[in-house]
Structure 1
């Protein structure tokens, strides 16, 4: 049923599959390096040979990521050949069938997920994106793997070198019943040179070192270390194809709205900004007043954004905007580190420029920095100081990533200013 020689596998992938017999088996390294396929094949082989006692579990940050990262590849006949038809899963279900065995799917977005494992006895577990699950969940999962010969299979991209998975497990591999394999982008021979170039363009700085080079490195210093006012600030704007708006809500903290435009020159522009700081003006505003102020600002600009992405924690303000008839409202995508990466990739490629009138954003960007206390804990987080326009920009940029990602590799065009 499963002929490894018939699959397009590298020597490193085959070697890791054959040696994945430890209690903990961990594949780590860059994106698209072949680690997921190798780990899934090793896991499926273990499912095929496992005895009847104990549960089989697949874990990930959410059910959706498990479906995307585990079951979509397993059901791809181009990747897994005849094996794919022996993998059954209905989207949204919390169980699946692999080679006739029932497999339980567990999302682990926060520490509360640990309770889902209590009382279980498992013989096999697969963990997708291990650095994104809580340490307590991982520890509880290992405790549940109590059947003789039980094994855990896991994949991850690199994170901070102080992350609990690195410090507590990878760095202690010689002390534990653990085997680990480090993959780089070059370890996947099936990728075309064009694809590798496109992928590399999407990652800069910290993310390139982690996701392309596969290195565990610290997030420290300035977040947008590629920021350069002489490169990124403009006094004139080209004609725009469309606009979007991002809003970071504040009452005691500043409220910031930014307008993002896609220029006819295939660049993105932070075209305008509206801010209110109750601490400096000594005047607080209600949700209704903020809503009217944003509408007036946009009307003055003569622009109706296709979408307005609102701080997802600002539920009452979102309701007020909806009641006031603002079109195209949506909760902003608030994956902080991924959003920062999106902004950084555009800045590094000179595809995100800021109009000189956006004083708040221009004040914040140079000092927008990683929090050293979070770094010491093995976490990536920005300092929550003077970040309101930066957050609004992150909201609108990352929430529209599917609309502009192609611009990172498209040739830039010249355009007359308006």
Structure 2
């Protein structure tokens, strides 16, 4: 029914199809790189070999994306030859038939989709655009693949280097029963050189690295588009010449974040440590007094006495609590958002500001901290107000102490920060 030698597949595609026998199999990389065709071929072969027990599932962001990304290619004789006649799906339906087997389709647009998986037992699952489904859904799906030899096959374009799929799975492939294949645009033998050149020309900068080279990097639109983990994250800290201050973003229902900023003996700034409390995740809210005590215990544990404590200006009651508890140098943080972003950006771009790898919340937020496209369309520069608690705490500490470190910048960055901090 299916002659692989007659299909326009690259050697990488063929190898991935034959070796997709792990519990988790992921094809990731650039747009139009051939990963979807290879993964679908592996899935169809798995359907043909599947036993009678357990469900077969296809998941995606929505039924519409499943139809577009899965069933339209499967129905194309140019891609799958005679096999396309054995794929039947009615648009809008939540089931399909592949090689005579019933396949269930599940859209996973938000965390509520996790409930659709509860109670079922699956033997085979295919996930389209895996980075777009909620992490909880993915975790629940893996738990439901409980029959002997059950497998998950998934495709995705790259996302943030701190995305849960990258950090929790791809980066841990050696620890898990997981195989992954990385595809670049040039890995698709069916594309003409003219098309490859045209598509490559449509993307620039970091977006080009993601969508053409298939790299897990920060996309265009990121506030700190100069952020590079390989350049800005350190595992060891030099001796601190000064502990300039702690920046605190106050939250009750939202996460509370504190970042300790130090000036190293090497003349560079360091996000030395972070303390966070997420009341939703912990199922426990804290009072101002408890937060104050927790911050003090964190700093005492580090043996740290910062010169200043910069607090979100809107947190008046917490500011008063810190002052009553005699935290050092309690002051309202400079909260000019754009000017603060310029200060942080200049320090990052100059290689002056580095982050210790223990600052998990900050490292998770920095790559995805993005400009609001709606505001941009209206001619405004405004970051999206989401997942920004640790980055705000960093901004408070960096911008509020700019007068202490701006002289360390190269000459071409110096005036920019001077203007921003004025």
| Higher RCO (CA < 8 A, seq sep 6+) | 1
Quick check: 1:164 aligned with 2:164?
yes
Structure 1 residue 206, shift from structure 2 partner: 2.1
Distance 1:27 1:18 in 2: 13
Structure 1 residue 194, shift from structure 2 partner: 1.3
Give the corresponding residue for 1:390: 376
Distance 2:366 2:95 in 1: 33
Give the corresponding residue for 1:245: none
For residues 225 and 39 of structure 1, do their structure 2 counterparts lie closer, same or farther at Cα, with a shift above 3 Å needed? Answer: closer
Give the corresponding residue for 1:24: 24
Give the corresponding residue for 1:246: none
- For the residue of structure 2 that corresponds to 1:119, the secondary structure is coil
Structure 1 residue 148, shift from structure 2 partner: 0.5
Quick check: 1:88 aligned with 2:88?
yes
Structure 1 residue 381, shift from structure 2 partner: 4.3
Give the corresponding residue for 2:146: 146
Structure 1 residue 47, shift from structure 2 partner: 0.1
Quick check: 1:216 aligned with 2:204?
no
Tell me if the contact between 1:61 and 1:133 (Cα under 8 Å) persists in the aligned partners.
Answer: yes
TM-score (norm 2): 0.56
Provide Cα deviations, 1:22-78, integer angstroms capped at 9, x if missing partner. 000000011111100000000000000100000000000010000000000000001
Tell me if the contact between 2:221 and 2:370 (Cα under 8 Å) persists in the aligned partners.
Answer: no
Counterpart pick for 1:380 among 348, 354, 368: 368
Structure 1 residue 207, shift from structure 2 partner: 1.5
Structure 1 residue 6, shift from structure 2 partner: 1.2
Structure 1 residue 200, shift from structure 2 partner: 1.4
Structure 2: segments with no counterpart, 5+ residues = 227-337, 346-354, 356-360, 381-422
- For the residue of structure 2 that corresponds to 1:195, the secondary structure is helix
Tell me if the contact between 1:108 and 1:137 (Cα under 8 Å) persists in the aligned partners.
Answer: yes
Q: Which has the larger radius of gyration?
A: 2
Structure 1 residue 380, shift from structure 2 partner: 2.8
Give the corresponding residue for 1:73: 73
Tell me if the contact between 1:33 and 1:187 (Cα under 8 Å) persists in the aligned partners.
Answer: yes
Tell me if the contact between 2:222 and 2:370 (Cα under 8 Å) persists in the aligned partners.
Answer: no
Tell me if the contact between 1:163 and 1:378 (Cα under 8 Å) persists in the aligned partners.
Answer: no
Tell me if the contact between 1:57 and 1:103 (Cα under 8 Å) persists in the aligned partners.
Answer: yes
Tell me if the contact between 1:163 and 1:377 (Cα under 8 Å) persists in the aligned partners.
Answer: no
Distance 2:92 2:44 in 1: 21
* CA RMSD between the two structures: 2.8
Tell me if the contact between 1:29 and 1:158 (Cα under 8 Å) persists in the aligned partners.
Answer: yes
Distance 1:203 1:220 in 2: 10
Distance 2:75 2:374 in 1: 43
- For the residue of structure 2 that corresponds to 1:176, the secondary structure is coil
Distance 2:170 2:77 in 1: 33
Distance 2:221 2:59 in 1: 33
Provide Cα deviations, 1:5-29, integer angstroms capped at 9, x if missing partner. 1111100000000000000000001
Distance 1:126 1:375 in 2: 30
Distance 1:389 1:199 in 2: 28
Structure 1 residue 83, shift from structure 2 partner: 0.1
Structure 1 residue 391, shift from structure 2 partner: 3.5
Tell me if the contact between 1:160 and 1:375 (Cα under 8 Å) persists in the aligned partners.
Answer: no
Give the corresponding residue for 1:3: 3
Distance 2:71 2:366 in 1: 30
For residues 78 and 63 of structure 1, do their structure 2 counterparts lie closer, same or farther at Cα, with a shift above 3 Å needed? Answer: same
Structure 1 residue 382, shift from structure 2 partner: 1.9
Give the corresponding residue for 2:260: none
Give the corresponding residue for 1:257: none
Structure 1 residue 388, shift from structure 2 partner: 6.0
Tell me if the contact between 1:163 and 1:379 (Cα under 8 Å) persists in the aligned partners.
Answer: no
Distance 1:220 1:190 in 2: 28
